[in-house]
Amino acid sequence: MGINNLASYQTMDLGKEWSYTILACFACAAFLILRTRERLKSVPMPNGASVLWGHEQIVFNMSAGMAYAQWLKELNTSVLKIRGALGKLDLLVLADPFAVTYILQRRIYDYPHSEVVRPRIGRLLGKSLGWVEGEKEHKRMRQLVAASLSPEAIRSSAYNVHAAADTLQERLEAHLADKSGDNIINTIDWTNQATLDVIGRFAFTHDFGGGINQEAIDILGAWRNMAKVGISRKGFLVLMVLRRFPFLNHLPLEALMAQGNVRSTIREGIAQELIRRSQRLPGESTDDNSLLSRLVSAHNAQLISMDELMDHITMFIFAGSETSSQTLGYALWELAKDPKRQSQLREECLAYSGHLSYDDSQTKLPYLDAVIREVVRLHPALAYMERVSVKEDVLPIRHPLQAPDGQELKNIKISAGQTIVIPIHAINRMDSIWGDGSAFRPERWLEDLPARDILFSGWSNVLSFSDGPRNCVGTRLALFQMKVLLMTLVRRFEFQDTGSVIINKIASSMQPTVQGKEELGPYLPVAVVTL
């Protein structure tokens, strides 16, 4: 056989090999789709899926979380499935207390972040506590930071929260005095600056200048750019493509680069300065028990790498401020729409003398506590969470499903690789639990709660801080700072409704936008009057 003939045969063999490989991939994909659909055949599915985008375009087009709430109500179920975009396997949506508790409390390490969520966390926050998977590694990282966020740590550093609150009050007073006749503010801008100021002082012994110095401007600017891209149609398309083809996660796409810019802004700027400033001579003692001090000590003891140290700083600067900021902004917006309840809250806050202590925040201001609980319930930072099963499993459910043969099913068999959606926003607002789940009514927390057997677990029986071993490590600090900041503001200012229609979108976390002005990005306007 001649060389040319040999090359021709080799080319033919290579072509056949590629053809067989492609056919095998399609066959495998078809098998997985058919098996998933067979296992979920008893799970109801809403109408309206498009051939290309499944149900996911509906989720994007509606205000965040509302599509899941609507489907759960229409189908009268606590479990449903939706078609994924671009031929993605069906997504299983769980709003059943047994199934959610099973995953979050008992099997969370068998349900890591999905293949689209984890890379996003990595780009935004680095390989830190929120990104890490596996029980051993997660517990190691959580143990490093938990002590710095304990009740004792908050008690001893409460003055830092009050300093940030006082600065916020002074800045807002000055703004209103200088802007005669222009008293409409974007609450998100102001609360972002305040919570960044809090986390800087509390966790890193660092002054962000009330959230308006150049470091803060750079960080918040990178965040705002990321959020604007994330809530856009372009952001949705990128998300759907990455869900279907996760190997594309490293492409230089604008939406992905915007997420990475937040991390790089912090790592290349303030993180390096914080580490340099905190370095001490070997054997030098310190009374500093801040989060930064503990992280640097762990690095010096070779318990964490320099990359991990930088990423932990990134995570706590960003996640430690942004989520609390959104919730606080929604609190001001809800109170602006409800003058009577705002006045009631103001009366209670004015009756308390001086700065609010951590212990008093738990017991001495019941209506403030109720308002915060209600806002956290109605406006979770995450509208939903995504997890994926690493192996086959059987999920228990409280509310049985009806099989095609009429049999009552009390569990759901799922395959490895099944994407799970836990619709936090919809769960927190379920009328079947709260009666008037979408209403802002803080008094519900001063009344008898619904029957325990229908409630979810988690802080205050809602999932806003998740649940189980991977719940929010900063819950106590988040609640305390929101109470202090809100108390400071309602004592001094009156907040009034502007009539704007708010549509919530998702850009990693929940982002409020004004209907018809989505190009402005995150925007939650209220009018403010100095008292």
Q: Which residue ranges make up the annotated binding site?
A: 472
Q: Where are the beta strands (DSSP E) in 66-202?
A: 79-82, 91-94, 184-186
Residue with tokens 């071993």: 469
| Cα–Cα distance list, 18 to 6, 13, 21, 29, 225 (Å) | 18, 9, 5, 16, 42
Among 71, 66, 161, smallest CA distance to 429 is for 66
Distance CA 31, CA 163 (A): 60
Tokens describing residue 38: 């067979």
CA distances from 3 to 12, 17, 245, 313, 419 (A): 14, 21, 40, 62, 51
d(CA 342, CA 332): 9
Taking CA atoms, 359 is separated from 152, 158, 389, in Å, by 10, 10, 40
Tell which residue, 506, 476, 472, has the closest CA to residue 129.
472
Q: What is the dihedral of CA 250, 251, 252, 254, to 10 degrees?
A: -100
> How far is C-alpha 229 from the chain's CA centre?
17
Return the ∠ at Cα 133 (arms to 88 and 393), rounded to 5°: 55
DSSP H/E element including 214: helix 214-230
User: In the sheet that 419-422 helps form, which strands lie side by side, from edge to edge?
Assistant: 79-82, 91-94, 419-422, 385-388
Own/partner contacts of 233-240, CB < 8 Å, gap of 24 or more, are 235/507, 236/57, 236/60, 239/116, 240/53, 240/56, 240/85, 240/86
Q: How far apart are CA 36 and CA 427, in angstroms?
A: 25
Sign of CA dihedral 453, 459, 464, 468: negative
Q: Which residues carry a binding-site annotation for heme?
A: 472
Q: What is the Cα–Cα distance from 82 to 141, expressed in whole angstroms?
A: 35
User: How do 493-496 and 525-530 pair as beta strands?
Assistant: antiparallel
Q: Show the CA angle centred on residue 91, arms to residues 89 and 93, nearest 5°.
A: 165
DSSP string, 335-368: HHT-HHHHHHHHHHHHHS-SSPPHHHHHHT-HHH
Question: Residue 78 corresponds to which tokens in the numbers above?
Answer: 């606590």
